[in-house]
Amino acid sequence: MEDIQVIGVRGLPLIRAGDNVAALVCGKVAVEDGDILCVASTIWSKAKGYTRNLADIIPTGRAIRLGKLNGEDPRFVQSVLDASTDIIMEHPFILSEMSFGHIGVRAGVDQSNIDDDMIIFLPPDPMKSADELRAAMKAASGKDVGIIITDTCGRSFRRGQTGNAIGWSGFTAIRDFRGDTDLFGHVLKITEEAVVDEIAGFANFVMGESNNGVPAVVFRNCGTWTGHDNLYFRGDEDITKRVLKKEWSSKT
């Protein structure tokens, strides 16, 4: 198998509502069958209009209270509450769950890489977005390209943000090693590799965070794998969430 190749997609314009992301990417890179295209959620959301003007948001009492508590614009806080289905922690920042299962700080709402007073939401259904982008890539290039929609996320236990996959299409999120044998013949009992997050992490490294202007990255020769899509813990499986919720509710 050939070594993996990583191609940052340079020279894309500032993305506006209505832009065809797939066609713009295909104008910069000749993709091949089996490539994986990582796209920053930021540009997908700008293209799809998942954005709002802060001036249009009227904060509720809860948003005003949390805005004071966390030192944030209550309209911004309201947008975070609107994007969330479950608030896990209110302070020192809002940590919440979104309808598609992702848990993130400030619901992934961004105020960077967009005009003043505008905010960018994560796509409301990123799996559907990834399917849509994959079909658009097929239409624009004739090639079957896998998709990962990424976002820069904080994490527990370690300082620093990394790229996470929030939507994907064309492969499973997890490569399941359970039942495989290691070099010594031991059967693996636990290992499920979160492949989409590993690739998203490297894509995020290539993208950079500020004014790099590289919102898409193509990976070639990643091979194939089998596994499943249950990336998010369900219900009581998520020990961290359970403990955080208990800790937070005991304080209010």
Place of tokens 């065809």: 20
DSSP state at residue 170:
S
* C-beta closer to ligand GDP: residue 34 or 101: 101
Contact residues for ligand GDP (CB under 6 A)? 12, 14-15, 40-43, 46, 110, 112-113, 151-152, 207-209, 211-215
Taking CB under 5 A as the rule, does residue 104 contact Mn ion? no
Angle at 183 between CA 179 and CA 188, to 5 degrees: 25
Taking CB under 5 A as the rule, does residue 110 contact Mn ion? yes
Which residue type, as a one-letter code, is found at position 237?
E
Structure tokens of 200?
């998203």
* C-beta closer to Mn ion: residue 181 or 212: 212
* C-beta closer to Mn ion: residue 110 or 197: 110
Q: Which x/- pattern over 181-220 shows residues binding Mn ion (rule: CB under 5 A)? A: ----------------------------x-----------
**Using CB under 5 A, which of 35, 90, 151, 197 touches Mn ion?**
151
CB-count exposure of residue 244 (10 Å: 0-12, 13-18, 19+): middle
Can you state the percent helix, strand and coil of the chain, rounding each to 5?
35, 20, 45
Pick the stretch among 20-28, 108-116, 182-190, 222-230 that binds Mn ion (CB under 5 A).
Answer: 108-116
Pick the stretch among 30-38, 107-115, 139-147, 175-183 that binds Mn ion (CB under 5 A).
Answer: 107-115
* C-beta closer to Mn ion: residue 34 or 101: 101
Q: At what angle do helices 41-48 and 126-141 cross, to 10 degrees?
A: 80
**Using CB under 5 A, which of 96, 152, 164, 169 touches Mn ion?**
152
Q: In the sheet that 36-40 helps form, which strands lie side by side, from edge to edge? A: 5-8, 216-220, 36-40, 146-153, 162-169
Angle at 108 between CA 107 and CA 112, to 5 degrees: 135
Contact residues: Mn ion, CB under 5 A: 110, 151-152, 209
